[in-house]
Structure 1
Amino acid sequence: MNEPVFGIYLRGVKHNVVASPSMMKEVLSVEDASNSEVLGQALQNVFGDRSLIRNLNLDSNQGVKDKAFAILNDDSFILEGSSTINRLVQHNMPNLVSFCRSQVDQNPWERGISQVEVPDEANQTVCEANLFALLSNFIGHNVSTFLMGDAFVDNFPNLAEDLGRLDDTFVTLFIGTARWVPNPAASAGHAASDRLRHIMSVFHRALTAVDDGIDPGIELRDLDDVSEIVKDRMRMFRKLELSSGASAAGHLSLYYDLIEHTTKISFWAITHIFADPTLLDQVRKEIAPYVVASRPTRQETGFPFDEPPRLSIDIEKVLTLCPLFIACYYETVRLHSAGITFKKPASDIALSESAEEAAYALMEPRQYKIQKGERIIVPHGAYYHDSRYFSNPDQFDPLRFLVTVPETGAQRADPSILTPFAEGLYGSTNNGFTERSILTFIGGVVSMWEIEPKDGKFLTVPGHKTSWGAFRPTKDLRVKMKTRV
């Protein structure tokens, strides 16, 4: 249309689509009067809220979202969460696949849809797995352990698979498809949402009992290691006098938002890095001093058997001294994010196109006025794939994010190229906790594991399936895996 702002009708309602980067920033900075309508629709249609949370008064509803956003961006929470995820990954990454034939002996994340198998009886050092399912289950297990505690993960080991089903059917449920509609996605999604919501309700009751000093029962007795963001959310729901059933949708939505984005972005980044041998070699050399996979020799240990592999990650050094690795993360977000922000401005706003952007259209800068209460869509994904701002936008090229620091001549990864950044249900997905978690998972896999396709020489990056926040792959990748140490 050659216009930076245009109107589109969705379900009979006109939305103003703002596609100019400079105007996007203006829109994202204005006060929103929508009372989180999109979050409310997701809570009702996807997470099964029966309107108890969605219909809270404006201040209470917005307060639930704002408190979660504030905690997620609090430095103490980021450091605590990063440290815990780092410790869990260092402990569990050497066992991403255990090379055990029996599912009884496998780790929880290897079972079910991960389909981890050791096909060659003579070779116990190579196994096959469904890569996306394996990473989803592994990341879900570790992030769940930090957020909800060990007792929660031990009692609900198949949670990650239902969470994946919910993400796979998110769009179908979000638009309001009823469970009785003859649609496999709708029936599977509603069933997964019901099971997850029941688990969250049971967990909420146990957590409130512990908070009151009451024995919650033997299964969920030890909840001291539940994260502060989940405890705070429970106390806020109690203050608002919500039942455990009503609170379940609120717990589930935050749980989903934190885990699924991390899972999908980690998968896409790992796939791109392993699909390019040159890039894989460069990334490994860059992170090698700070992400170290090792195995003590028999001479070092004095034992007549091999010690298990070990992993050490210094995430602070990675963040400051590994620009190519960070750039791979930014490029993954650019290429595979499907984020959209919805706004309803609390007052009239005037938008002005920058001279640089107007020059692309060979026109003078244009101005637009959007009235108070009109609906606005900010399509982050459309901007990320616009050839006017990103050359060869469909190619994975992390070098586009590398800039040279004039004072030192050193390179750094520049995230400003990504702004505006895609948003999740509870604010920007570019928060410190999520970024550090994703980099920790990617670094651990790249440093410790060799991954190649079951058939063929190099991994092939699959296509996109639309979901919330980031795309899902259209198909899983059947891969062969072995340790590097």
Structure 2
Amino acid sequence: MPCMNHSRLLSSEPPGRRPCTPSWLNPDSPCHVHVHVYNVTETLRGATSEEARRDQDVAAIATLKARLGAETSHQSPSSSPNSESKAESKAESKAESKAKARVAPIESRRSRPIAPASSPGQAAARIQNPESRIQTAAESSLTSSSLKNCPTVMFNSNVGSTDQPLVLRSPSVPRSPSSIMASSPPMAVSGNVHAILGLLAHNPLHAALLTIAVVLITSALLLGAPASQHKPGSDGRAGPPSMPGYWLPFLAHGPQFLLNKDGFLAGLQKRYPEGIFSLKMLGSNHHVIHEPTLSSTLTNRPRTSYEERWIAARLLSTSFGLRKQDQATYGRLAHETPDLYKHMLSEPGLSNLVDVVVGQLKRHIHEFVTFNSSPADQTDWERLADVDVVRNSRGETYVEADLMSLTRNFVAATANPALLGTNFVDNFPDFWELLWMFDEGMVLMAANMPAWIPWPRLQRAKAAQRSMLACTLEFEIAMDKYLRGDDPGIKWQDLDNVSTYVKTRIELFRNRGLPLEARASCDIALLWAMNANANPLISWLIFELYRDPVLLEMVREEIAPFLKIVQPKNDFGPAVWVAPEVESLDLDGLINRCPHLKAAYLETLRVYTGVWTVKWLTEDVTLKRRGSNSESYLLKKGHMAHMAHELHQFDAEYFPNPKEWHHDRFLKETKDENGRKLQTVDMGTLRPFGGGPSMCKGRALAMRELLLYASFVISFYDIIPPRGQNWEEPVTCKRAASRHSTKPVRVWIKKRDFTSKSAAGQGASG
């Protein structure tokens, strides 16, 4: 209930015997009434006119002043001559001064015109005015617990006359929150918040995205990790490598590595020039090494320090389709498979493989392009390269084709018979296009991405894998019959020319009880390893040789003594074309006595490959840098060590202008025993096939393939950009083994003329 002072004020009865200061003017009283100032355009919406509202405001002020005078008139020096009366009189005078001070600003602004009705944003902007600040203070004080039992004095800030009674609102008639909001402009910040809340209320998608963003940012701040720098231990021992910070828990650096591997790693290489840094992905620790001395230190350690075979077993299951029920059987025989590579790395197995490749190349090099305009008359590799017959302004005939597709499929069709025989290549001419589709998404499959993710590259790769498994399973069934002495079928009558390596491997699988389906998966792994790297590199080597006419003529001149081509006599006249023939081939001469060709081969490997060697550490390993900065790094047991040869190949400290193709960076000038100058080739720190026991097992065959195919193509054909254009800088993307062009590389191709004297001996230019 209201106190006695309030009752007196509400009734017209005079105050009691003891005069007192009205408690509604006393700020120390628990029933103190706060004066609330509201904008007239917001609170008095029912007023008939601005003049009526102004009159009410003026009357309210006049009544207030009159009652203040009435209250103070009860206080006089004669009525209370004692000291207590004097103290009370002093307090009442002080209260009167405070009341007048509250009224004075209102009177001083009574001539201010009434503002028109405003929007919430405009009302918020008027907070800066004194009246609005009073209103905001009044609104906030309205919710104070001290006002629960107190009446509220209401009057307008735009005052006019002084002849209207004071308007009081009893606490028994509370104001609704909506009326308060309507009559009181919000704070400036509240206006922005209200606008944002209004936007989110009408846009659920925006609200959901904002919620997700808040959750992610909060998780990152709470569960992420800051960057750490390499520091030696307190006792001077080796410390862990530096690690960049990350925001996402568990995933850590995984999204950056998967979605932007090249840019992410290039930035880290510059950030950590010491040659090693660490990453955390999917809860595992990975140490990336790109400095050659550190890589050599790890490679030269005893094999008990790390395990490498696990990566092959993982790829077989995640990428090549090895079933779970067959993994244990394969694991029991995996240690025997490295012994089979002697058929590819040493004699006589290596020479047997190369002889088959050379025979296929001699037989089909004149069909690299056939100049047939009808797809029905074209070869399989021509159809895949979108070949077309065109003429230039002088009437010369060319074949326009995609050089990358044409070359890699030509190599696949002519080199793989050395491994799987001619029946496999003839029966499955579309297998190689499936292989490139599979290669495009192999990294995603190796990451064990769920099959339900609608990622086009991933889905195409899985579909290609299933089709390839059907092909290799049919091949394994035929080989199983062949090795038992049974008839393999009409499609498989030439299985005798399957390589010794493949036959020996299938025998091992049969003897150890590996099912046919598992053998089919192993065949896909073999074919991918032999084609996914070498075939695109042959395309790039040919591309780079033709881009530099001076280098092209130098290479043609130096290979001429070792690859001799002759034009057979044509007894049928010019109407019949007779293909040139290879008179002699010295492969050792191409490998050891053609420095420009060999240097171009190495530079192509540097620019267009990206080999990584991965090891799982089975014990703690300490790596120490050589030289002045001989810091030591501790790699703990159970962590993964990645020797990123790809990063080293683009390190400007070792290879100036690393993004430019310059073959002469590998050329060294020396002198022979007679003092004559010689050019030799020095690989330096380049390790394009990896290092240690895990070094690429097909490296010897791959090198011979690159040198052979490049020598044959540049000897038999001239290649230029279409329509007299300039050679463009290729835009590439990294796949699992090598780099590929992001768009077709269209070229014009024509046969070289070997009938002229200048072309005799193969050395003619086109």
TM-score (norm 2): 0.59
Give the whole-Å Cα distance in 2 for the aligned partners of 1:160 and 1:201. 16
Separation in 2 of the partners of 1:411 and 1:424?
A: 29
- 2:356 touches 2:417 (CA, 8 Å); kept in 1? no
Report the alpha carbon displacement of residue 420 of structure 1 after superposing the two structures with TM. Answer: 6.6
The equivalent position to 1:117 in structure 2, one of 388, 391, 405, is 388
Question: What residue in structure 1 maps to residue 647 of structure 2?
Answer: 382
Aligned residue type for 1:307: V
State the 1:352 CA deviation.
1.8
Residue 97 of structure 1 and its aligned partner are, at CA, apart by: 0.6
Question: What residue is the counterpart of 2:313 in the other structure?
Answer: 40
* Structure-2 change in CA distance of 1:396 and 1:193 (3 Å): same
Which 10-residue stretch deviates more, 148-157 or 50-59?
A: 50-59
Please give the alpha-carbon distance, in whole angstroms, between the structure 2 residues aligned to 1:258 and 1:428: 10
Q: 2:731 aligns with which of 459, 463, 468?
A: 463
Alignment correspondent of 1:247: 519
1:354 aligns with 2:626: yes
CA pair 347-243 structure 1, distance change in 2 beyond 3 A: same
What is the CA-CA distance between 1:60 and the residue it aligns to? Answer: 2.0
* One of 17, 29, 51 as aligned partner of 2:288: 17
5+ residue gaps, structure 2: 1-271, 754-766
- Given the alignment of the two structures, is residue 334 of structure 1 paired with residue 606 of structure 2, yes or no? yes
**Structure 1 residues 218-297: aligned runs within 5 Å:** 218-297=490-569
Question: How many Å separate the matches in 1 of 2:488 and 2:739?
Answer: 39
Give 3-state SS (helix, strand or coil) of 2:634's partner.
Answer: strand
Matches of 1:416 and 1:211, distance apart in 2: 46
2:353 counterpart letter in structure 1:
G
Identify if the C-alpha distance between structure 1 residues 430 and 157 changes in structure 2 by more than 3 Å, giving closer, same or farther: closer
Q: Which runs of 5+ in 1 are unaligned?
A: 359-363
1:7 aligns with 278
Taking a change above 3 Å as real, the CA distance of residues 183 and 425 of structure 1, as seen in their structure-2 partners, is: farther
For these two proteins, the number of residue pairs brought into alignment is: 475
* Cα offset, 1:460, TM superposition: 2.3
Which amino acid is 1:404 matched to?
Answer: E
Matches within 5 A, 1:24-173: 24-30=295-301, 31=303, 33-52=306-325, 54-56=327-329, 58=331, 60-64=333-337, 66-111=338-383, 113-120=384-391, 125-173=397-445
CA contact (8 A) 1:422 1:469 kept: no
The Cα of 1:278 is off from its aligned counterpart by: 1.5
Distance 1:430 1:4, change over 3 A: farther
CA RMSD of aligned residues (A): 2.5
Q: Could you tell me which residue of structure 2 aligns to residue 307 of structure 1?
A: 578
State the distance in 1 between where 2:694 and 2:468 align: 19
Determine the C-alpha separation between the residues in 1 that align with 2:694 and 2:413: 21
| Structure 1 counterpart of 2:709, one-letter code | F
Change (3 A) 1:277 1:313: same
Q: Work out the CA distance in 1 between the residues paired with 2:274 and 2:617.
A: 21
Distance in structure 1 (CA, Å) of the matches to 2:396 and 2:426 = 28
Pick from 362, 368, 377 the counterpart of residue 633 of structure 2.
368
The code of the aligned residue for 2:358 comes to N
Cα shift readout 1:265-290 (whole Å, capped 9, x = no counterpart): 11111111111112112111111222
Instruction: State the distance in 2 between where 1:210 and 1:39 align.
Output: 28
Distance 1:263 1:105, change over 3 A: same
Instruction: Name whichever of 254-263 and 99-108 sits farther off.
Output: 99-108
Residue in 1 that maps onto 2:213: none
Instruction: Report if aligned partners of 1:423, 1:429 keep a CA contact under 8 Å in 2.
Output: no
Inter-CA distance 83–123: structure 2 relative to 1 (3 Å threshold) = farther
How far apart, CA to CA, are the structure 1 residues paired with 2:330 and 2:424? 31
CA distance in 2, matches of 1:55, 1:254: 20
Q: 1:50 to 1:379 in 2, by over 3 A?
A: same
What is the alpha-carbon distance in structure 2 between the residues aligned to residue 259 and residue 459 of structure 1?
Answer: 26
Alignment partners' CA distance in 2, 1:252 and 1:421? 20
d(CA) in 2 for partners of 1:117, 1:123 = 15
CA contact (8 A) 2:609 2:688 kept: no
Residues 147 and 426 of structure 1: CA distance in aligned 2, closer, same or farther (over 3 Å): farther
Following the alignment from structure 2 to structure 1, what is the Cα–Cα distance between the partners of residues 352 and 485?
Answer: 25
Contact 1:313 1:440 in 2 (8 A): no
Is 1:440 matched with 2:708? yes
- Deviation per CA, 1:202-249, whole angstroms, max 9, x where unpaired? 101111111110101111132000011111221121122111111111
Tell me how far apart the structure 1 counterparts of residues 308 and 700 of structure 2 sit (CA, whole Å).
Answer: 25
Structure with the greater alpha carbon radius of gyration: 2
Distance in 1 of aligned mates of 2:433 and 2:692: 21
Given the alignment, which residue of 749, 753, 756 partners 1:481?
A: 749
Tell me which moved more, 127-136 or 322-331.
Answer: 127-136
- Out of 306-315 and 48-57, give the one that drifted further: 48-57
Looking at structure 2, the residues matched to 444 and 136 of structure 1 have their Cα atoms a distance apart, in angstroms, of 14
Quote the residue 1:201 is aligned against.
Answer: 473
Distance change >3 Å, CA 268–CA 245, structure 1 → 2: same
- Per the alignment, in what secondary structure is the counterpart of residue 485 of structure 2? coil
Question: More displaced, 437-446 or 73-82?
Answer: 73-82
Per-residue deviation, 1:423: 7.0
Q: Residue 424 of structure 1: CA displacement?
A: 12
